[in-house]
């Protein structure tokens, strides 16, 4: 842990954790800063910065990793159509989901599904809720930055980070 976050008051961290917990419980919902700030009882102006100091990633990017984690679990564990999974995990369209999923994980949703089915269930002894966490993407940079770095045609176009 950085000295930076150790300097945040435990009472504040506990309230920020509550916002993180709420995103965990309902990652398919919209979580604008205003809503998260209210959960944590801090001002909107301070929320995003405090959250990033505490948990190392901005709140919207944390939400994105949880959505991808949940989608990955559904791809792996169910036979539900990918479109349905996309809408259920918080995306507005299959296109946005597929593109973001590929940008974050490096694979298409269909490829992840196929690979997960082929793999042995070596995590079978771990409770399902913790198995899911093991597949959470480690998104250390913004998706827009990831796209920029991976783009073969670097034309300097600005892309909005999703969500």
Partner 1 sequence: MSQGVKEVGLYVRDQDEALAFYVGKLGFRVHTDVRNGDYRWLTVQHPDQPSLQLGLFKPGPPVLDEATAQTVHAIVAKGAMPPLVLGVDDCRAAYERLHAVGVEFTQEPTSRYGNVDASFRDPSGNGWKMIEARL
Residues 6+ away with beta carbon under 8 Å from 148: 154, 159
Which residues between 63 and 102 bind partner 1 (CB under 8 A)?
Answer: none
Which of residues 69 and 162 has its CB atom nearest to partner 1 in the complex? 69
The minimum distance between CB 8 and partner 1, in angstroms, equals 7
Closest by Cα among 42, 49, 60 to 5: 49
Nearer to partner 1, 8 or 96 (CB): 8
* CA 147 – CA 52 distance, rounded (Å): 21
- Binding segment for partner 1 (CB under 8 A), chosen from 9-17, 100-108, 109-117, 141-149, is 9-17
DSSP H helices in the chain: 3-6, 10-25, 33-40, 44-55, 59-77, 82-88, 94-105, 109-118, 128-134, 143-150
* Least spacing, CB of residue 82 vs partner 1, in Å: 21
- The stretch among 18-26, 31-39, 107-115, 149-157 that binds partner 1 (CB under 8 A) is 18-26
Size of the site for partner 1 (CB under 8 A): 21
Could you say which of 42, 54, 74, 112 contacts partner 1 (CB under 8 A)? Answer: 54
Taking CB under 8 A as the rule, which mask of x and - marks residues 120-149 in contact with partner 1?
-------xxxx-------------------
Is residue 1 a contact point for partner 1 (CB under 8 A)? yes
Q: Please give the torsion angle defined by the CA atoms of residues 23, 36, 63 and 61, in that order, rounded to the nearest 10 degrees.
A: -160
Burial class (CB in 10 A: 0-12, 13-18, 19+), 95: exposed
Indicate whether 162 belongs to the interface with partner 1 (CB under 8 A): no
Q: What is the DSSP letter of 141?
A: S
**Chain contacts with partner 1 (rule: CB under 8 A):** 1, 5-6, 8, 10-11, 13-14, 16-18, 20-21, 24-25, 54-55, 127-130
């Amino acid at each position: 842990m950085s000295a930076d976050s150790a300097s945040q008051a435990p009472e504040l961290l506990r309230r920020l954790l509550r916002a993180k917990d709420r995103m965990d419980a309902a990652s398919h919902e919209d979580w604008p800063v205003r809503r998260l700030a209210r959960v944590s009882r801090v001002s909107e102006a301070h929320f995003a910065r405090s959250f990033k100091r505490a948990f190392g990633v901005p709140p919207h990017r944390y939400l994105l990793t949880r959505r991808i984690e949940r989608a990955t679990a559904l791809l792996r564990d169910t036979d539900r159509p990918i479109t349905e999974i996309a809408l259920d995990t918080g995306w507005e369209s299959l296109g946005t989901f597929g593109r973001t999923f590929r940008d974050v994980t490096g694979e298409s949703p269909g490829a992840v599904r196929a690979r997960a089915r082929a793999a042995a269930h070596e995590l079978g002894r771990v409770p399902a809720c913790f198995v899911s966490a093991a597949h959470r993407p480690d998104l250390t940079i913004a998706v827009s930055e990831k796209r920029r770095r991976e783009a073969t045609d670097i034309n300097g176009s600005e892309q909005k980070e999703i969500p």
